[in-house]
């Protein structure tokens, strides 16, 4: 019988990995916001969805809880996009 730590989640996934992925998505959103417009964030959000749902389904991790993780990933990506768009906006100095 294998011993698992208290931080282990189903199928060996570690909850800390969810935050690392969210941080990477936030940084990716900033880069998209600095460089591209709204079509790019829509495509990135769709790609994120089309990547993670089949992955969770194949690994047998698709549950009600993973919907909240997906929402968190989308929030991280899109809030990074908003911050990057804010920094990319030229100043309105006259």
For residues 21-46, average pLDDT: 94
Share of the chain above pLDDT 90, in %: 60
pTM of this prediction? 0.80
Q: 56-76 pLDDT, tens per residue?
A: 899 888 889 899 999 999 999
Q: 39-59 pLDDT, tens per residue?
A: 999 999 999 999 999 998 998
CA separation, residue 86 to residues 24, 45, 55 (Å): 19, 19, 33
For residues 28-47, average pLDDT: 94
């Amino acid at each position: 019988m294998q011993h698992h730590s208290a931080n282990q989640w189903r199928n060996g996934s570690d909850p800390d990995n969810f935050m690392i992925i969210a941080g990477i998505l936030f940084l990716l959103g900033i880069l998209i916001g600095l460089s591209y417009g709204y079509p790019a964030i829509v495509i990135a959000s769709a790609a994120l969805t089309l990547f993670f749902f089949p992955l969770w389904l194949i690994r047998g991790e698709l549950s009600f809880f993973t919907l909240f993780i997906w929402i968190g990933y989308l929030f991280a990506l899109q809030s990074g996009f908003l911050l990057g768009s804010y920094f990319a906006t030229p100043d309105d100095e006259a």
